[in-house]
Amino acid sequence: METKIIDGKKISEEIKLEIANDTKSFQNKFLVKPGLAVVLVGNDPASSVYVRNKEKSAIDSGMRGKTINLPSTVSEQDLLNIIENLNLSNEIHGILVQLPLPSHISQEKIVEKINPIKDVDGLHPFNSGLLSAGTPRFIPATPAGIRELLIRSDFDTDGKHVAILGRSNIVGRPLANLLSMKSNGGNATVSLCHSRTNNLKDITQMADIIVAAIGIPNFVTQEMVKENAVVIDVGINRVESSLHKRGYRLVGDVEFETVKLKCKAITPVPGGVGPMTIAMLLSNTLQAAKLQCA
Ligand SMILES: NC(=O)c1ccc[n+]([C@@H]2O[C@H](COP(=O)([O-])OP(=O)(O)OC[C@H]3O[C@@H](n4cnc5c(N)ncnc54)[C@H](OP(=O)(O)O)[C@@H]3O)[C@@H](O)[C@H]2O)c1
């Protein structure tokens, strides 16, 4: 059987259309335009692209999109004050601070400053606690996007063994909580793997679904994958390429060309998980506006 290439771009466009329609109905009913504020500290080129995409996607979906660009020298106190103003704003329902932050700013302090009801990144301890308890409110966008990709591609996780590679707070850990929840799109048996995991290959070879989120180009090779597994590649890595005008190309954490010969389905990079992340951020923003206007 031919390997299915899971088209995250197409699925995300469908979701964004649904969100745009839902946003219109919401706005007609409550006379409120959902608003997303994205705060970017510094001028890292990759982060700048992500932030621009988030603002544009919000506007395209009929929401208010606002980017706040700050120099990398901004003080922690000034950033806390800016978040406080956003917390108080009636026009902003979702706040996202693009990570990572410069080392003189405490990421924890900043995330904890965001009003949990506006925390559309789902990283505030209150929201990560709700997810751990199995009663999520805002699910971090990348894990939410991965679950949605699996659901909309008809890959049931119920009773399946999922190996997640990487235990970050934005991808691996919340995804493990999400896929093991007692609910639709959950009920999986999850192995949450990391750099200290022994015999990683033995674990991935048993997995029905592999999710790679470690940030190492082409780390997952064909021999690590079970025949007919579903492979989700979260990694976004820049590798030098003289063939590309910009001097690099994007690759995932999975060796796509060889793994696709063995698995049942696989996400490409780019065009797999990445676009889903933005769609789910918009979904969280609309949900935040609904919660604040209810
Ligand atoms: N598509 C998207 O929208 C999206 C969103 C977020 C991130 N990403 C991409 O996803 C990748 C991961 O990012 P992240 O922020 O989640 O991760 P991260 O914070 O960089 O953490 C990497 C994780 O990988 C684990 N790891 C490192 N080497 C390993 C190895 N040899 N074997 C097993 N595990 C290993 C680390 O283990 P330890 O905990 O033991 O150090 C850590 O848990 C990056 O390429 C990032 O750009 C994509």
CB 216 within 8 A of CB 175: no
Q: Is 222 a catalytic residue?
A: no
Domain 32-115 has CATH 3.40.50.10860: yes
The yes-or-no answer to whether 32-115 and 141-274 have a common fold is yes
The whole-angstrom separation of Cα 147 and Cα 157 is 9
47 close to ligand 1 (CB < 6 Angstrom): no
The whole-angstrom separation of Cα 13 and Cα 204 is 31
> What spacing in Å lies between the alpha carbon of 171 and ligand 1's midpoint?
8
Q: Where are the domains of the chain?
A: 32-115, 141-274
SS3 209: strand
Q: Is 98 a catalytic residue?
A: yes
3-state helix, strand, coil in the chain (%, to 5): 45, 15, 40
> What spacing in Å lies between the alpha carbon of 163 and ligand 1's midpoint?
14
Strands (E), 60-218: 64-70, 94-97, 161-165, 189-193, 209-212
Other CB atoms within 10 A of residue 43 CB: 11
Residues 170-205 have pLDDT tens digits of: 999 999 999 999 999 999 999 999 999 999 999 999
Q: If pLDDT is split at 50, 70 and 90, which confidence band does 1 have? A: confident
What pLDDT sits at residue 46? 87
Residues 243-272 have pLDDT tens digits of: 999 999 999 999 999 999 999 999 999 999
163 close to ligand 1 (CB < 6 Angstrom): no
Percent of the chain with pLDDT over 70: 100
193 close to ligand 1 (CB < 6 Angstrom): yes
Q: Is 121 a catalytic residue?
A: yes
For residue 36, which amino acid is it?
L
Q: If pLDDT is split at 50, 70 and 90, which confidence band does 288 have? A: very high
Residues 135-173 have pLDDT tens digits of: 999 999 999 999 999 999 999 999 999 999 999 999 999
The whole-angstrom separation of Cα 112 and Cα 14 is 33
Q: If pLDDT is split at 50, 70 and 90, which confidence band does 294 have? A: confident
> Which residue's alpha carbon is at the smallest distance from atom 41 of ligand 1?
195
pTM of the complete model beyond 0.85: yes
Per the residue annotation, which of 16, 54, 66, 260 is the catalytic one?
Answer: 54
What pLDDT sits at residue 127? 98
Residues 208-217 have pLDDT tens digits of: 999 999 999 9
Domain 141-274 has CATH 3.40.50.720: yes
